[in-house]
Structure 1
């Protein structure tokens, strides 16, 4: 049985259900080991999220911020884990782990793949010089692994420009997990409630909380909910916004059961799992016109896409609704089973 080693600094958000989905879906065929880093939003119950056969290794030195001391320590620990676990394949996820693992394992004969979950040089909050530096870095690092596994079509098109070995495996949703969460009795469906617009994710630059706040303040008669926590929470000042704090993925789904519309104000995305969940639940979806969002939401077919705050407000107020079409798209194209089938082909 082959051993697959996953490495990531961010075992939370949309990366967690992707890695856990691969491990849980294929653990009958492979032995999985997951190395994960230090983040304040990593769930405390990882043992309940992963199959008991998956080995989890916590590396406190593997952090998002660059630190010579921590990075050297993380590289040393990753190399030790590779020596101990003897993996046949190493699958690296996200930017920081992508740097530490590919640099640290330079010369290692094991097959290595890298999934960016959104290339760092595509971030809209960086200036052009920094984006150029980051892109150059990714081109160099691409030569230190055996291929890039892109999680969405746009990421795949970008990956092909920086590596001759790129493959597309779109993120998949564990619809059975969503169904079980929705069926739990703790939260009954409310027949009558104030129209509620929600989003889910870390409150940081990527998700653009400033725009979310602007839209909420322009629609005072609607209730807005941000499911999550983060460094930019102070930007959510409109009195009709509720911030839930960190919730388990199961609780996010249960909360969303009584919400009406999913709003994404993101500046950039990979292929967002939270949006997939909303689509599968048949919610009205209004999203910013950025890659990842507009790959899932075809304007006027599976939801609506906006350009600015004024446009978003008008779409939230109109009666256009594509819940059935969105649900069908997720079922047909973005299931966890399809993702696992494609991963198995690559691993073999």
Structure 2
């Protein structure tokens, strides 16, 4: 089977998601049609992390992040030509579209190219951005329009599927997962005395760095506390508190080292699909303190492996509670790892995508597929 992945944001969590799909299906050929976000990471650097045996790459040169009618038309035209060429060479069994820009342009291009089997994974519903109501309404209409074009919507968490259902978009979900084999149980010993709270990923509005800063600033005068944002982004200036360390972009191994040495993983996101950073924290035996939003709420078993908070005061109180109950933190970390193994194992969960790629059912018949997924 040959799966063509179309991905404009070839960086951060989306690239991890696509790579995970290729790793979980080593016997299938994956062709990745990708854009590039040079301000975050070069496409060449991202490609080095992918398996070499079963993955091929095609550059989607005109793809770009912002909405621009002329540039988006050029991107659509280029994508159509790529997909049509692959179809004529019998190099397409299914097309998987990743994130909103790829989802809209990709569905149109698949229709134009005569490709019947294509699915779309939002990896975070864009209409939950927390921006203006006008912007959110605009994204809602894009999602509805894209759904009318056709294809199947496959969300990456149950809560994401729920919000798409409220929008009138029929979908199924397959939980995101990570490869637990890359996390050894011998590497989780903390060596620092400082109580460390960490988050990972792009510093952007979706991750709400302003809230992260407000929480950290409460502890600014207490030297026992340290906050780390492992990542980089355009909203870096929001992180003003003197007790926040910003690492910039670092290797995945360095991320693992930093999370291993932390006590608690904190997410202040406005919305998620299902964060790989959070799942990796679970695998590394860390309690997770997560904002109440789509994606995050699928991970926490309240009081067992962490907690959900709705405002900065609740987050601060929880961090103080963790600080004063180190034994509880250790026990919650053990539950985190157990939950990750039972619910977020990549090799198990992503079999659902393989079944979806293979099925000939239309989006209207997806209900019967959900039990298999």
| TM superposition score normalised by structure 2 | 0.86
- State how 1:232-311 maps to structure 2 within 5 Å: 232-311=235-314
Quick check: 1:94 aligned with 2:99? yes
Closer/same/farther in 2, CA of residues 163 and 78 from structure 1, 3 Å limit: farther
Q: How far apart in 2 are the matches of 1:23 and 1:136?
A: 31
Contact 1:146 1:165 in 2 (8 A): no
Aligned-residue offset at 1:76 = 2.0
Question: Which structure 2 segments of 5+ residues have no match?
Answer: 359-373
Aligned-pair CA distance for 1:54 = 0.2
Residue matched to 1:84:
85
Which residue is 1:120 aligned to? 126
Whether the 8 Å CA contact 1:178–1:250 is kept in 2: the answer is no
1:1-348 mapped onto 2 (5 Å cutoff): 2-28=1-27, 30-39=28-37, 40-42=39-41, 44-52=44-52, 53-86=54-87, 87-110=92-115, 111-124=117-130, 126-162=131-167, 165-179=170-184, 191-220=191-220, 221=222, 222-318=225-321, 319=325, 320-321=328-329, 322-348=332-358
Are 1:143 and 1:163, in contact at CA under 8 Å, matched by a contact in 2? no
1:190 deviation in Å?
5.2
Larger mean Cα displacement after TM superposition, 218-227 or 151-160: 151-160
Measured after TM superposition, the shift of residue 122 of structure 1 is 1.6
- Between 1:87-96 and 1:153-162, the stretch displaced more is 153-162
User: Do the aligned residues in 2 keep the contact of 1:114 with 1:145 (CA within 8 Å)?
Assistant: no
Distance 1:261-1:55 versus aligned 2 partners, 3 A rule: same
Looking at structure 2, the residues matched to 173 and 162 of structure 1 have their Cα atoms a distance apart, in angstroms, of: 29
State the shift of 1:215 in Å: 0.8
Q: Following the alignment from structure 1 to structure 2, what is the Cα–Cα distance between the partners of residues 307 and 130?
A: 23
How much does 1:199 deviate? 0.4
Moved more, 224-233 or 283-292: 283-292
Q: Secondary structure at the match of 2:119?
A: strand
Question: How far off is 1:161 after superposition?
Answer: 4.4
Deviation at 1:24, TM superposition (A): 1.7
- For the aligned residue pairs, the C-alpha RMSD in angstroms reads 1.9
Q: Aligned equivalents of 2:76 and 2:19: distance in 1? A: 23
CA distance in 1, matches of 2:23, 2:150: 25
Structure 1 spans left out of the alignment, 5+ residues: none
How many correspondences in the alignment? 340
- Provide the C-alpha distance between the structure 2 equivalents of 1:330 and 1:166, rounded to a whole number of angstroms: 24
Change (3 A) 1:192 1:166: closer
